[in-house]
Amino acid sequence: RSQLDCCGQPNLNYTSLLSTYSCPPEYTKNCVDEIRSFLGTKVYIVAGLALGVAVIMIFGMIFSMAVCCAIRNDSPY
């Protein structure tokens, strides 16, 4: 909250909530829009990380399939 200087979400009627939570006056922007704009400026970093994780997962699946095939083809005697 404090790093993005935001609080809450858009189109939420805070008067209907039963809790006593309210946003401080210095946080006037909603967090949904702030997170979207923050990720929009870092789209290449997020995409690169997602691609890197996907590649690591694919190599893990290939390795696990190779191990399963090796165990299946290994005779117990």
Q: 6 pairs with which residues across the strands?
A: 29
For range 33-38, the mean pLDDT: 85
* Residue 19 pLDDT: 43
Q: State pLDDT tens for residues 46-72.
A: 899 999 999 999 999 999 999 999 888
* Residue 48 pLDDT: 95
For range 13-32, the mean pLDDT: 63
Enter the pTM of the model: 0.53
**H helix intervals, 1-77:** 31-41, 43-73
Which residues are within 8 A (CB) of 39 and not within 5 positions of it... i.e. 6 or more apart?
46
Q: What is the DSSP letter of 77?
A: -
Q: Which of 34, 33, 38, 14 is nearest to 24 (CA)?
A: 14
